[in-house]
Structure formats: C-alpha cells, structure tokens
Structure 1
Amino acid sequence: MQRIEYTPRVAELLGRVRRRPAASWPWRPGEPVPEWLPIKQSWGWLFAPDGRVLTLVNPKDGIVSLPGGSLEAEDQGDPAAALAREAAEEAQAVIGPAHYLGYLYDRIGSANGGHECARVRMAAPLRAVGPSRPDPASGRHYRRLLVAPGLAVELLGWGAAGLRQARAAVQFATRALGVPELANEVIEELPEEGGPVFPS
C-alpha cells in the first residue's frame, strides 16, 4: 500500500477538519432528474491528470467540500453552468466540459424551502486554478487540496453513499479523461498563485 504523503502545513490543516453529519439522500446514478423535480444544487468531482480531485477546506471551521453550490438565475437551469461558475468563485478553478453522473434525491428539501429537490453530481477535468481569493458570495477563503477520490470521501464524511459517487466519477474520468484508476496518494495544497493543472 502506498504511503499517504503531505507537508506539515497540510497536516496542520487536516488536523482541524470537521465532517458534516452524513445526509441520507438516496443516490440515483445515471438517472436523469425527473421533469417535476427541481434541480437546486450542482457539485463536481474535478480531476487532475494523476486522478486526484479538488477539495476545498474552509480553514475557519474545518469543513471540507467539493466545488459547487446552488443554481442561480444566470445559470438558466443548467447544472454544468452552475458548477463552472461556482468552481470559479470558490476555488478560482477553470474546468473543462462537465459530465452528468446522477443526482441525490432530497425529499426534505433543505436547499428548496422545505420542498423536495435534486442535488446533481458531475465530473470534469480541472484545467487550471487562478490566484487564491475569497468566494465573492460567502467571503470564505478556501484552501485548495488535491486528494485521491477515496480520501476525499473520507474528508467529506460521506460514507458508503459517497464511495458510490466517487466510483461513478472515477469510472468516467478513467474512460473519458485518461486518468489512472488508482490516483496519486499524495495530498497536495495548490499554490496561492495558481497555475495550470490539466492540459487542454
């Protein structure tokens, strides 16, 4: 088994990670969102060429997330557009075309005023990241880590349902993006000045 490596700076950050309570939203892999069910959120597995994915850590509260968020009017109902916008705002990330993986059925609708909704999951290549800056919507200044997908699930606290999502994302990425099935296990913080990640 390959040893997981990371710098003391990353170790200090990981020591403050807090996991959100796991949600019990059923995962619907590959199923289109029914027309009657509103799509309220879009989140993405964004892959580097070595199979690692971008995760965001809020250093104030230790919460880890994938890039993504709520659909806004400017997205015109398109989860891929929402993901590209949110990735740019939260992580200053430039992504390639996003591939639909499936959705989570949120029957309680905490993202939709108490009405049931869909939370979409997508996968895309991570092309580049710009200089680090706060998210204009929330003011959060995320730390940007590249981690193996399985470790991302652990940091997110998503459990078995998260592993199923990760497998769907990896299957797409190995087939369509040419990334290795077994990702690099080094945990790497992206530099504050940014730079290219995935070749065009």
Structure 2
Amino acid sequence: MSRIEYSAEIAELLGRVRRRPTAGWPWRPGEPVPEGLPVKQSWGWLFVPDGRVLTLVNPKDGVVSLPGGSLEPEDEGDPGAALAREAGEEAQAVIGPPYYLGYLYDRVGSANGGHECARVRMAAALHAVGPTAPDPASGRHYRRLLVAPGLAVELLGWGAPGLRQARAAVTTAVVRLGVPAAANETIEELPPGGSVFPR
C-alpha cells in the first residue's frame, strides 16, 4: 500500500475535521427521480484529470462537504444548473457538463419543509477554480482540497452507502471524463489564487 502524501498544514486541517451524523437517506443509483418527487438539492463529485475530487472544508467547524446545494428559481428545476452555480459560489469552480448518478430519497423532507424530496448526485469535470472567496449565501470561506474519492467518503463520514455512491461517480468519470480508475492519493489544498486543470 502506498503512503498518502500531504503537508503539515493539511494534517492540521484534517485533525479538525468533524463528520455530520449520517442521515440514512436511501441511495437510488441510476434511477430517475419519480414524477411528483421534488428535487431540492444537487451535489457533485467534481473530478480533476488524475481522478481526485474536490472537497470543501469549513475551517470554522471542520465539516467536510462536496460542492452543491439547494435549487434556486434561476436554476429552473435543473440539478445540473444548480450544481454549476453552487460550485461557482462555494468553491469558485468552473465545471464541465454534469452527468446524473442517482438520488438520495429524503423521506422526512428536511430540505423541503417536512415533505419528502430528492437530493440528486452528479459527476462532472473540474476545469478550474478561481481565487478563493466567501460563499455569498453563507459567508463561509471554504478550504478546497483535492482527495481520492475513497478518502472523500471517509472525510464526509458517509460509510458504506457513501462508498457505493463514490463507486458510481468513479465509474461514470472513467467512462465519460477519461479519468483513471485508481486516483492519485496525494491530498492537496488548492492555492488561494486558484488553479486550472488540463482538459
């Protein structure tokens, strides 16, 4: 097994990571969202060419997340548009066309006023990130880490269901985006000034 490489600064950041309790939403891989079930959120596995994905760390509370969030009226019901917008707002990310992976069924509707809803998951290429800036919706100033998908599941605290979701994302990314099935395992924080990734 190869050693995972990361800097002392990243080690300090990872030491403060806090995982949210798992919600237990059932994962519906590849299934279209049923008619009548509202899509309230869209989150993305955003891949760079070496197979790593973008994760966001809130330095205030240590919570790790994938880029994404709630659909807004300007998204016109399109989860892909919501993902592109949210990734830009949260991570200053520029992404390629998103590919649908499936959805999580939120039966208690915590994102929908207590009514059942779907939380979509997508995969896309990460083309670039701009200079770091606070999320306009929350004021949060996220740290941006590239990690292997399996490590992302660990940092997110999603367990076995998250690993199944990551596998679906990797399978799609290998076929659609040409990334390697075995990702680079180096943990890298993206610089405040941003980065561009070859297409």
Q: TM-score of the superposition, structure 1-length normalised? A: 0.99
Q: Do 1:44 and 1:124's aligned partners in 2 also have CA atoms closer than 8 Å?
A: yes
CA distance in 1, matches of 2:96, 2:13: 28
Summarize deviations over 1:153-195 as a string: whole Å, max 9, x none. 0000000000000000000111111111010000000010002
Deviation string 1:65-115 (CA, Å, 9 cap, x unpaired) is: 000000000000000000000000000000000000000000000000000
SS in 2 for 1:115: coil
The one-letter amino acid paired with 2:92 is Q
Answer yes or no: is the 8 Å Cα contact 1:123–1:169 preserved in 2: yes
> What is the match of residue 60 of structure 1?
60
Partner of 1:93: 93
Counterparts of 1:154 and 1:195, CA distance in 2: 25
CA distance in 1, matches of 2:96, 2:103: 20
Structure 2 partner of 1:84: 84
Distance 2:186 2:162 in 1: 20
Q: Matches of residues 73-152 of structure 1 in structure 2 within 5 Å?
A: 73-152=73-152
Equivalent residue letter for 1:10: I
Question: Structure 1 residue 197: deviation in Å?
Answer: 1.7
Q: Percent identity?
A: 81
CA contact 1:68–1:86 (8 Å) conserved in 2: yes
* Residue number in structure 1 paired with 2:20: 20
Task: Give SS of 2:185's match.
Answer: coil
On the 8 A contact 1:125/1:198 being kept in 2, the answer is no
> 2:178 aligned with 1:168, yes or no?
no
Equivalent in the alignment of 1:179: 179
The residue type paired with residue 35 of structure 2 is E
Is contact 1:56–1:145 with CA below 8 Å preserved after alignment? yes
Counterparts of 1:93 and 1:66 in 2: how far apart (Å)? 12
* Separation in structure 2 between the aligned mates of residue 112 and residue 27 of structure 1, nearest angstrom: 18
Query: Corresponding residue for 1:49?
Result: 49
Unaligned runs of 5+ in 2: none
**Does the 8 A contact of 1:126 with 1:198 survive in 2?**
no
Q: What TM-score does the superposition give when structure 2 sets the normalisation length? A: 0.99
CA distance in 2, matches of 1:37, 1:177: 29
